[in-house]
Chains A and B, each alone.
Chain A
Amino acid sequence: MTTHTFKPDMPPPNKVFGPMAWMRANLFSSWLNTLLTLFAFYLIYLVVPPILHWAILDANWVGTTRADCTKEGACWVFIQQRFGQFMYGYYPGDLRWRVDLTVWLAIVGVAPLFISRFQRKAIYGLSFLVLYPIIAYFLLHGGIFGLTNVPTNRWGGLMLTLVIATVGIAGALPLGIVLALGRRSNMPAIRVICVTFIEFWRGVPLITVLFMSSVMLPLFLPEGMGIDKLLRALIGVILFQSAYVAEVVRGGLQAIPKGQYEAAAAMGLGYWRSTGLVILPQALKLVIPGLVNTVIALFKDTSLVIIIGLFDLLNSVKQAAADPKWLGMATEGYVFAALVFWIFCFGMSRYSVHLERKLDTGHKR
């Protein structure tokens, strides 16, 4: 009688889990992939160690003058010494608490809007939007309640960058919404005016707009009416940015199904009420990520005011790097400015991605 002998068990499949298996699947799955991986490591080897040495290992961290920078790497002493100028420009040193206070007010004021359990967001947000600019203006500019007047030509640094970006978007948003509505209007005259306006600003670079607002705006106004340099730049930025906001909002308006318009009309709502109560709330919700992208673009564009001689963050760095006492510090300065801009822009773009996921309800494929 033959006895059945079982074959020995198959060995467990190895290298399906664990770091080795992961590496085999993701880095060395074929000879081409292996080559690419090695190439990537070579690139990293080329780029990372020099940067690490320059920025951290061989960098100079303590000191007060250029002479203290004795090591090979970056001289961060320069940034420490000029930090005040980079943040506040020529804002008087003993009044800088006012700038800090303005920023803290904004942070504290905006925070409730990000708490999802907070009720009456609309009312709170609107009143904040109305009140905050007034308070911020008097805090920064002074000249009332015994606050010393600080003229706008003393403003500068990151503070000026933020002022231009926030005022720019706050002005461009309402104007852009109106333009987008005008572009979708049934009235030919309104449509033509809005299309011309939008396409004109979208067709020219911001630099020429800033040139125009700084050179031509004084010519446009009645004689003797001086206009502040910062205000000129702001007007240029707002007009320019409103065209981009308008295009983003138009995208949202087009995405609203026709049934919504018809339903609103059937309820007896007129144009303004159907737009304000039915269409815009839905359209704006759709385009929030797009609007955040516009804000990022605007934030990067604020650096262009260097061309008309305003001392924003970038221009402060440029000026400081040209100082004979700190010659050869251009790299450190620009790297610092790039880092600041990057943190803001990257933060906003992450937020936009987060919003997109949160607001994306039911359209997932």
Chain B
Amino acid sequence: MQNQIGAPKQKLSFSDPKVRAWLFQIITIVAVISLGWYLFDNTQTNLQHRGITSGFDFLERSAGFGIAQHLIDYTESDSYARVFVIGLLNTLLVTVIGVVLATLLGFIIGVARLSPNWMINKLATVYVEVFRNIPPLLQILFWYFAVFLTMPGPRNSHNFGDTFFVSSRGLNMPAALAADGFWPFMVSMVVAIVAIVLMARWANKRFEATGVPFHKFWVGLALLVVIPALCALIFGAPLRWEMPRLQGFNFVDGWVLIPELLALTLALTVYTAAFIAEIVRSGIMSVSHGQTEAARSLGLRPGPTLRKVIIPQALRVIIPPLTSQYLNLAKNSSLAAGIGYPEMVSLFAGTVLNQTGQAIEVIAITMSVYLAISISISLLMNWYNKRIALIER
């Protein structure tokens, strides 16, 4: 006779957690799908009754309105698709300028907050506490309506050495135009960078093998200056400058940064820098003082201690929150809708939506652009973060 030992035959019962989990998930999925279907069905009926045809055909139609700033050629007869590209480029422009400037300013203020100098320390604290507690939209409106629009007109503009002019029309500055030596200069830059990389590799290899250090930084800097300079001497200057001139009531020639762009980048930079400063401060503070002491007792000077011991460890703490600040800046660039700078939201989700009435398509496109930007920035930063992460053994 055999003893039948084993689990009793499972019956489907509500007291089995697995069964409950399945049941619960099925109910949730059904609920979500039916909610989606309900909304979709309502939308269909509403659209039919209002006589709106859905679809992306409207992108082909001619837009018929002017845009204050476009990085690519644009005329009023161009299509909505081109308007979309212009909006996207303007968003990216603000984001890139903002990220660079906010990082610079943020690092300076963050380091200043750790300064042993009492005055500098307190000034940086005041900066951070003032600017991070005022809504970014308010700061944008302030810069735009209270600062830039109240500037004098082009004829009485603030003149900075006859090259930069700040007026109610924005910032006029010299334009850099490609001259004869432009392409040879670019080639020489590439050559210089390749040379620097090769030099650094060789120097590192020698350092590993013999322990003899090499002045990588100075030699690299020399390469970067000498090769392009030689090239410029032979082929002529790579750029020529076109000065802005006052003609009639406005400036001609040169580049102009419209006041909307100035107000937006300034406000976003100042706002985001306050947050970045706090991130930098906490990152540097997270490296314990023992690390500095250990480095000094090994005979490292203050410079290498900072570069090889403190900063690499601080960066690990700084990078993840810094990423989310960059993301916030990209998303906050949409606040331009408040002052009418022609970027994604004000141009596409504002003007185009009003003109075409294609609410669903326009909002869907706008949202997916921001999702794409968000996801790509976070992927990039995750990759970087993984590279510098502490490898625990």
Q: Footprint of B on A, CB under 8 Å?
A: 26-27, 29, 33, 36-37, 39-41, 43-44, 186-190, 193, 200, 202-208, 211-212, 215-216, 218-223, 296, 300-301, 303-304, 306-307, 314, 318, 321, 328, 330-331, 334-335, 337-338, 341-342, 345-346, 349
Contacts of B129 in A (CB 8 A): 346, 349
B370-A208 in contact (CB<8A): yes
- Closest A residue to B134 by beta carbon equals A338
Give the distance in Å from the alpha carbon of A303 to the alpha carbon of B141 in the complex.
Answer: 11
A189 in complex: contacting residue of B29, B119, B145, CB < 8 Å: B29
Encode B36-69 as 1/0 by CB contact (under 8 A) with A: 0001001101110100000000000000000000
Give the distance in Å from the alpha carbon of A307 to the alpha carbon of B138 in the complex.
Answer: 12
Contacts of B134 in A (CB 8 A): 300, 338, 341-342, 345
B367-A27 in contact (CB<8A): no
Give the distance in Å from the alpha carbon of A329 to the alpha carbon of B198 in the complex.
Answer: 61
Spot the interface stretch: B211-219, B233-241, B244-252, B328-336.
Answer: B328-336
Give the distance in Å from the alpha carbon of A349 to the alpha carbon of B125 in the complex.
Answer: 14
Give the distance in Å from the alpha carbon of A32 to the alpha carbon of B117 in the complex.
Answer: 10
* B183 CB, min distance to chain A CBs, angstroms: 40
Give the distance in Å from the alpha carbon of A186 to the alpha carbon of B25 in the complex.
Answer: 11
Q: A26-B116, A205-B345, A342-B134 are in contact. List 16 more A-B contacts (CB 8 A).
A: A40-B123, A187-B24, A187-B25, A189-B28, A203-B374, A207-B345, A219-B42, A219-B359, A220-B39, A223-B46, A300-B135, A300-B136, A306-B137, A334-B138, A335-B146, A341-B134
* Max chain A C-beta neighbours (<10 A), residue from B42, B130, B353: B42
B367-A204 in contact (CB<8A): yes
Contacts of A303 in B (CB 8 A): 135, 137-138
B117 in complex: contacting residue of A26, A221, A296, CB < 8 Å: A26
Contact status of A212 and B367, CB under 8 A, knowing A203-B374, A300-B136? yes
* B318 CB, min distance to chain A CBs, angstroms: 18
A338-B142 in contact (CB<8A): yes
B42 in complex: contacting residue of A44, A186, A187, A221, CB < 8 Å: A221
When A and B form their complex, what is the total count of cross-chain residue pairs whose Cβ atoms lie within 8 Å? 154
B375 within 8 A of A: yes
The size class of the interface chain B forms with chain A is 35 or more
Contacts of A220 in B (CB 8 A): 39, 42-43
A215-B137 in contact (CB<8A): no
- Closest B residue to A37 by beta carbon equals B119
Give the distance in Å from the alpha carbon of A223 to the alpha carbon of B118 in the complex.
Answer: 65
B119-A208 in contact (CB<8A): no
- Closest B residue to A23 by beta carbon equals B118
Contact status of A330 and B150, CB under 8 A, knowing A219-B42, A345-B134? yes
B133 in complex: contacting residue of A193, A215, A341, CB < 8 Å: A341
Contacts of B21 in A (CB 8 A): 186-187
Give the distance in Å from the alpha carbon of A37 to the alpha carbon of B39 in the complex.
Answer: 63
B25-A346 in contact (CB<8A): no
B141-A33 in contact (CB<8A): no
Contact status of A215 and B363, CB under 8 A, knowing A27-B118, A220-B43? yes
Per DSSP, chain A at the interface is helix
A341-B363 in contact (CB<8A): no
B349 in complex: contacting residue of A43, A208, A304, CB < 8 Å: A208
Give the distance in Å from the alpha carbon of A190 to the alpha carbon of B20 in the complex.
Answer: 13
Query: Can you report 7 residue pairs joining A to B where beta carbons are below 8 Å apart?
Result: A208-B370, A220-B42, A223-B45, A304-B137, A331-B150, A338-B138, A346-B133
- Closest A residue to B130 by beta carbon equals A342
Give the distance in Å from the alpha carbon of A119 to the alpha carbon of B123 in the complex.
Answer: 43
Give the distance in Å from the alpha carbon of A207 to the alpha carbon of B334 in the complex.
Answer: 7
* B365 CB, min distance to chain A CBs, angstroms: 10
- Closest B residue to A305 by beta carbon equals B137
- Closest B residue to A47 by beta carbon equals B123
- Closest A residue to B41 by beta carbon equals A222
Give the distance in Å from the alpha carbon of A347 to the alpha carbon of B349 in the complex.
Answer: 35
Contacts of A307 in B (CB 8 A): 337-338
Give the distance in Å from the alpha carbon of A296 to the alpha carbon of B133 in the complex.
Answer: 8
A208-B28 in contact (CB<8A): no
Give the distance in Å from the alpha carbon of A44 to the alpha carbon of B130 in the complex.
Answer: 15
Contact status of A200 and B371, CB under 8 A, knowing A215-B363, A342-B133? yes
- Closest A residue to B366 by beta carbon equals A208
B120 within 8 A of A: yes
Contacts of A321 in B (CB 8 A): 145
* B358 CB, min distance to chain A CBs, angstroms: 10
* B26 CB, min distance to chain A CBs, angstroms: 8
Give the distance in Å from the alpha carbon of A207 to the alpha carbon of B141 in the complex.
Answer: 15
Contacts of B39 in A (CB 8 A): 220
* A21 CB, min distance to chain B CBs, angstroms: 13
Give the distance in Å from the alpha carbon of A220 to the alpha carbon of B49 in the complex.
Answer: 13
Give the distance in Å from the alpha carbon of A314 to the alpha carbon of B118 in the complex.
Answer: 36
- Closest B residue to A296 by beta carbon equals B133
B117-A216 in contact (CB<8A): no
Contacts of B194 in A (CB 8 A): none
B49-A223 in contact (CB<8A): yes
B136-A193 in contact (CB<8A): no
Counting from the closest, the 6 A-B pairs by CB-CB distance are A345-B133, A40-B119, A205-B331, A26-B118, A189-B25, A300-B135
Give the distance in Å from the alpha carbon of A317 to the alpha carbon of B138 in the complex.
Answer: 10
A341 in complex: contacting residue of B32, B45, B116, B138, CB < 8 Å: B138
Encode B349-372 as 1/0 by CB contact (under 8 A) with A: 100010000011001001100110
